Amino acid sequence: MKPADNKIYLASKSPRRRELLRQIGVEFELMLLRGEGPRGPDVSEDVLPNEKAEDYVVRVTREKAEQAWKIMLARRLPPRPVLAADTTVVIDGRILGKPADEAEAMDMLRALSGRTHQVITSIALHRDGATFQQTQSSDVTLSVLSEETMRAYCATSEPYDKAGGYGIQGIAAVFIKHIAGSYTGIMGLPLHETAQLLNQAGIPTL
């Protein structure tokens, strides 16, 4: 299927992923998976029994990309590659999603305080029935956080739409003692790997 242009569809509602794509000059349209319509049920982000963190994030990302492609076909939208991504935070094998409330956010921050954890982001590009995928992992070390600091942070809106209950590009940057890996991957879209996938699909990033 010949692409309509050099644009892609981004199957993510994350404002950070939009910012990062704009940073490398990629034109895109949003393809949101939630809502009524011909898309079928939302992609489940529940962890399967005994599913390892990397397997989980790879599976969810691939399903998002494939589902968005089906939406494009069902809506008879101009054909374009579909990019999806998913990020998870892991410590001691425990997958930390987005906290539902202050109590859950506090629990996550207590688990991360003073320790090193992993942030795994998988990206998938679906085109013409084929999915190309890369996964990137970074180590992040947080300083020791006091109860007062964690509570003050959880009183902001920042923890609640981010895996692990914190955002490296926001207020929580002051908590970060050390990172080893990809800063943009921790934000939710590793640009090195993303550019590789886009270039494979003929989408320029320079």
pLDDT tens track for 66-90 = 999 999 999 999 999 999 999 999 9
Task: Kindly state the tokens that stand for 68.
Answer: 């968005």
Cα distance between residue 187 and residue 65, in whole Å: 19
Note the pLDDT of residue 33: 72
Residues in the chain with pLDDT values less than 50: 35-41
- Global pTM? 0.90
Under 8 Å between Cβ of 63 and 43: yes
Residue 39 has which token pair?
A: 């898309």
Residue-range domain boundaries for the chain: 8-200
Q: Which overall architecture, per CATH, does domain 8-200 show?
A: Alpha-Beta Complex (3.90)
Note the pLDDT of residue 2: 55
Give the residue numbers annotated as catalytic, written as ranges.
86
Token output for 194: 């993303």
26-52: pLDDT as tens digits: 999 998 775 434 444 468 788 889 999
